[in-house]
Amino acid sequence: MIIGIDLGTTNSLAAYFTEEGPKIIPNRLGRRLTPSVVSMDEEEQIYVGDLAVERGLLYPGSTASVFKRDMGSGRKFQLLHKSFTAEELSSFVLRSLKEDAETFLGEPVTEAVISVPAYFNDERRRATKRAGELAGLTVERIISEPTAAAIAYGLYQSQGHMRFLVFDLGGGTFDVSVLERIDSILEVRAVAGDNFLGGEDFTMVLEEMFFEKYPQFSRLTLDSKTLRHIHKQADLCKIGFSADKQSVMECKIGEEMYALTVELSEYEKACEELLDKIRQPVRRSLSDAHIRLSDIDKVVLVGGATKSPVIRRFVSKLFRAIPDTNINPDEAVALGAAIQGAMKERREAIKEVILTDVCPFTLGTEVVREWERGIYENGVFCPIIERNTIIPASRTERLYTVHDGQTKIRVNVLQGESRFAKNNLSLGEMSIEIPKAPAGEESVDVTYTYDINSILEVEVKVVSTGKLLKQVFGGKDLDITPEEIAERFNTLSYLKIHPRDREENKYLLLLGERMYEESIGDKRYLIQEELHKFEQALNSYESAEIERAKEAFRDFLKELEEF
């Protein structure tokens, strides 16, 4: 059985699929949520979840939390005399969930689908997969949290054409994803987010309000145990707004009790800066998806932080609509991951659906750019696969020599959004020899092919000689052999053919050209306009857009012939 796991910043949980649908797996304490907290005692015994939370209040120096934000960063967390990376700490949480699942299901659990924020880059996704492997799990797939949530809501099963937005605010990360459903295809159109914005930041607002009221205390003078206590009370105060428009934060410092009474309107005003940070990814996702706010049919809330009345009121105002909260926001992602696991097992109870995802960051290379004749700028980023391109995808860019007698072209494989190469993440480098020639006369075609498992194949081909160099990036941490990677990219070879070169599209273009040559006047102008629209769609590489444009152009030509 493949279980679904939501590895969260604040809480984690697992689910499995039954004939009645997906179900949450309770942990050893009978609770549905396991805090993503790890603690270690003097004997190096590891504790996870609620027990670790309680130990953290007493022994803060032996406890770590909110480490998901540092996945793939190499940062070390000190627990007593030992240090751990975020993925090692995450593996303890995953192992705990695995053991709870085995106890509850009464059978070994070795496979899982694990969710990650949509905005996690390749490094963070690979770190999550390594954490699963350290926990003794074969990670069948890393799935984006908004996609998992959409599956849980059954949005792929609803009728008609539908666009919806998943607003996912967890304990430490924020994602917004725009999805579109057409028949049995669930397509992620765009993702955006902030890996350092979540419910913890809204808790910190209350902490700051407490310190403002009692300036005799500060984070610099209080011990870590007291600071943990204050943070916990701030979190309880935040939760209190769900039941009342007023909440009280009570902290015991030394032998004295200190109270802070906060009105919901006052707290909402104090959160304005954080709410403004939420707006930017929302705007960016809609812009990248080429969708207006009014085009969104439904807004779905995911993540524990969305239970806050401040967030719900903000989202309602922002989208001018009441968001959908039919599924517990804490559980939607795990339930969707369990359904994805059942899809991989091809369970009969699951309606067949095609899921498409997008590349969350732009992939490109470093180039020298000529702005004016003889004036060059080094270290410029040249995008090849743009962010939010539907994957799997393949794109080609032709690069030319810039120096007379140049004998090599270096391809620095980069991931990021900055126009300067040095500000983006380098995944590796390739170098290929070329014949000596005057500047600009020799060139290479650089082809990037990216699949759903975050594996990137880079192909560099010298145009004049046909010499070819290939390298795979991102596959070293996956449980597949080089032969299997080669086979996988062989199946994606159709992507390397430009859409205009595919037989059916080529036929329609030739038919349109013939009809243009046979026509005169307004009729010729109409054909030219429609040909241009179809060519633009082909150049977009977007499969859904190409299909729509192909149908429209075919119908246009048919009507023209009948006329």
In a domain, 510, yes or no: yes
Q: What is the pLDDT of residues 101-113, one digit of tens each?
A: 999 999 999 999 9
Pick the last residue of a domain from 312, 340, 358: 358
With beta carbons less than 8 A apart as the criterion, state whether 97 and 155 touch.
no
Q: What is the pLDDT of residue 413?
A: 94
Whether residues 47 and 125 share a domain: the answer is yes
Pick the last residue of a domain from 312, 338, 358: 358
Pick the last residue of a domain from 336, 358, 380: 358
**Which residue range forms the structural domain that includes residue 426?**
363-491
Distance CA 530, CA 260 (A): 66
Q: How many distinct structural domains can be found in the chain?
A: 3
In a domain, 145, yes or no: yes
Residue 412: beta bridge partners?
Answer: 429
Rounded to the nearest 5°, which phi and psi values hold at 242?
-70, -25
Q: What is the pLDDT of residue 498?
A: 60
Residue 73: beta bridge partners?
Answer: none
Whether residues 480 and 371 share a domain: the answer is yes
How does strand 76-79 pair with strand 63-65? unpaired
In a domain, 258, yes or no: no
Whether residues 16 and 140 share a domain: the answer is yes
Q: 3-state SS of the chain: helix, strand, coil percent to 5?
A: 40, 30, 30
Residue 194: beta bridge partners?
Answer: 174
156-163 long-range contacts (CB < 8 A, ≥24 apart) are 156/181, 156/184, 156/186, 156/351, 156/353, 156/355, 157/351, 157/353, 162/297, 162/298, 163/189, 163/291, 163/295, 163/296, 163/297
One-letter amino acid identity for 549?
A: A
In a domain, 329, yes or no: yes
In a domain, 302, yes or no: yes
One-letter amino acid identity for 82?
A: K
Whether residues 418 and 553 share a domain: the answer is no
Q: What is the pLDDT of residue 360?
A: 82
In a domain, 267, yes or no: no
Q: Of 159, 528, 219, 157, which is closest to residue 351 (Cα–Cα)?
A: 157
* Three-state SS at 246: strand
Q: What is the pLDDT of residue 560?
A: 79
In a domain, 260, yes or no: no
Whether residues 442 and 535 share a domain: the answer is no
Helix (H), strand (E), coil (C) string for 322-360: CCECCCCCCCHHHHHHHHHHHHHCCCCCCCCCEEEEECC
Distance CA 120, CA 195 (A): 7
- Looking at 218-365, list the stretches that DSSP marks H as alpha helix, in order from N- to C-terminal side: 224-240, 264-270, 272-289, 309-319, 332-344
Q: Which residues contact 183 (CB under 8 A, 6 or more apart)?
A: none
Whether residues 290 and 414 share a domain: the answer is no
Whether residues 309 and 447 share a domain: the answer is no
Q: What is the pLDDT of residue 195?
A: 83
pTM of the model: 0.71
Distance CA 364, CA 414 (A): 5
Whether residues 513 and 378 share a domain: the answer is no
CATH code for the domain in which residue 173 is found: 3.30.420.40
CATH code for the domain in which residue 440 is found: 2.60.34.10
What residues of the chain score a pLDDT lower than 70? 155-160, 183-184, 346-355, 453, 474-501, 541, 543, 562-563
Whether residues 380 and 517 share a domain: the answer is no
Whether residues 504 and 487 share a domain: the answer is no
Whether residues 308 and 454 share a domain: the answer is no
Distance CA 193, CA 260 (A): 32
Whether residues 56 and 105 share a domain: the answer is yes
In a domain, 226, yes or no: no
